[in-house]
Amino acid sequence: MINVLFFAQVRELLGESTIAIEASEATSTAEGLRAQIAAKDEKWGKVLAADKLLVAVNQTISSWDTPVEDGDEVAFFPPVTGG
């Protein structure tokens, strides 16, 4: 299983802080995992649009082509801004 975490506004909009996804060929990259989860329904698709998110794999900021394996932790969160 891949442990998927949602933070900040992503968590608020989805109403979920964590889900578990079965590892598969379709989820072998951060992008593949994101796409599979986003396909759940229209709301999830909008919230999990790749251009609105950052991703971390095993607590390291990562790119969308980062490999994801069974047992990994993947977090999705909005870009952080401040001032």
Domains of the chain, by residue range, sit at: 9-77
**What is the distance of C-alpha 79 from the center of its chain?**
13
Give the residues across from 22 on adjacent strands. none
Report the distance separating Cα 24 and Cα 17, nearest Å.
22
- pLDDT > 80? residue 82: no
3-state secondary structure of 25: helix
- pLDDT > 80? residue 9: yes
- pLDDT > 70? residue 12: yes
Can you give the pLDDT at residue 81? 64
Under CATH, what is the fold of the domain 9-77?
A: Ubiquitin-like (UB roll) (3.10.20)
Can you give the pLDDT at residue 52? 87
- pLDDT > 90? residue 83: no
Across all residues in the chain, what is the average pLDDT? 94
